[in-house]
Amino acid sequence: MVDLTELSTFDITTQLTVIGRNPDEQNGFVNPPLYKGSTIIHKKLSDVESMKGRFFYGTAGSPTIANLEDAWTHLTGAAGTVLSPSGLGSITLALMTLAKAGDHILITDSVYVPTRVLCDGLLAKFGIQTEYYDPSVGEDIEKLLKPNTSVIFLESPGSGTMEIQDIPALVSIAKKHGIRTILDNTWATPLFFDAHGHGIDISLEAGTKYLGGHSDFLLGLTSANQECWPLLRSTYDAMAMLPGADDCQLALRGMRTLHLRLKEAERKALDLAAWLGNRDEVEKVLHPAFKDCPGHKYWLRDYKGSSGLFSIVLKDGFTRAGLENMVEKMKIFHLGFSWGGYESLITPVKPAKQRKPHNWPHRGFALRIQVGLEELSDLKKDLELGFKRLAAEISMNPLQL
């Protein structure tokens, strides 16, 4: 068994096969056992009275949960990690850790829609003021700061719109003014972007996506640097928002093949995005690896790869009926939320309605595409037939143009 102190000398793909398990402590079994329970038996009265130690009650976690926490801490280079029942749970936890009543927080306008709902609803109820900033703002975010600004929340690339932010610039301004930063790093994972290495205070991930890889559980992972870790841990302990041990075991299993699935998703997405870029129906492909995607230069500078999620904008003039005819009759692509699984998904996005102060420059329908593990030629054929149905609706209903 590889000594954990030697792990940094190995490639990350090798590390993924080692972290979060120890056969020497598992009776030789390769995978760690599943621990489920609420009550933990103690031998000493003093242990019960002090409630100390890593495991004293079910809400403090279990060895199964700890295995995943320790593995993710190693992978992210964080001071510590806690797990929650969903990605949104991680977002809530991170914001509740760093923001308080009376604070002003800055959230990227390209954020995941449920994050916006959280900020405009629950956080507003608690007296936290949210302001949305243009994801291309860079160092000019300094102009938006107020005396009570406590957090800058980043999501890069943007949800559905795929802008890459100038993270080092934002982090630099934040540190200059003593402001904390949170990054939703789900798209890239720690394999393609080193959040803490770029100065992010709290990095979070929806393990629901690529870590799981099979669309069969919900999970959030929240990691913090040395300064923010005690705050994160104490907030987490107060909320006791643990995931199920079964889901953590599935996540540990998914971790072993994460790099393989990510690279395959990247390969297929790049190919499919290039093919879509040559279609007459498509106005623009929004993929961070493409030169005309907003923030592409930052992706080149800061990221090690791209995943299987991107968006396209259709040319203006197609009808709602045509869009329905296109997406509802597909054989391989399915309508559905989430991404990162083995199945391909296509989901309409509506940035013009979801964004607050910053205009969306396109008039045509936007579609978010999650590339699964199916054969590329089959995916292209499915889309090609869909485009024919989309265009047929125009010729049948010319007055709707």
Give pLDDT tens digits along the chain (401 positions): 556 667 878 888 888 988 888 877 887 888 888 889 888 888 888 888 787 767 878 788 899 999 999 999 999 999 999 999 999 999 999 999 999 999 999 999 999 999 999 999 999 999 999 999 999 999 999 999 999 999 999 999 999 999 999 999 999 999 999 999 999 999 999 999 999 999 999 999 999 999 999 999 999 999 999 999 999 999 999 999 999 999 999 999 999 999 999 999 999 999 999 999 999 999 999 999 999 999 999 999 999 999 999 999 999 999 999 999 999 999 999 999 999 999 999 999 988 877 776 678 888 999 999 999 999 999 999 999 999 999 987 655 544 43
Structure tokens at 52: 């100390």
Non-local (6+) Cβ contacts of 1 within 8 A are: 18, 22, 23, 24
Q: CB atoms < 10 A from the CB of 385, how many?
A: 14
Choose among 75, 80, 71, 93: nearest CA to 249.
Answer: 71
> Please, how many CA atoms are within 13 Å of residue 290, restricted to the half-sphere of its CB?
22
255: its two tokens: 């971790």
How many alpha carbons fall within 13 Å on the CB side of residue 237? Answer: 13
Distance, CA of 377 to CA of 191 (rounded, Å): 28
Take residue 345 and report the two structure tokens written for it. 């998904």
The radius of gyration of the chain's CA atoms, rounded to the nearest angstrom, is 22
Q: What is the pLDDT of residue 398?
A: 45
Alpha carbon distance 325, 160 (integer Å): 22
Give the residue carrying structure tokens 């829609």.
113
CA 150, distance to chain mean position in Å, is 22
Domains in the chain, CATH or no CATH each: 4-256 (3.40.640.10), 259-400 (3.90.1150.10)
| Residues pairing with 153 in the sheet | 107, 182
User: CA neighbours within 13 Å on the CB side: how many for 69?
Assistant: 21
Instruction: Cis check for the bond before 157: say yes or no (omega within 30 of 0).
Output: yes
DSSP lists the bridge partners of residue 223 as 81, 203
CA angle at 164 for the pair 162 and 166, rounded to the nearest 5°: 160
The 3-state DSSP class for residue 294 equals: coil
DSSP track, 329-369: T-SSSB--S---SSS-EEEEE-HHHH-SSS-----S-EEEE
The position carrying tokens 């009543």 is 101
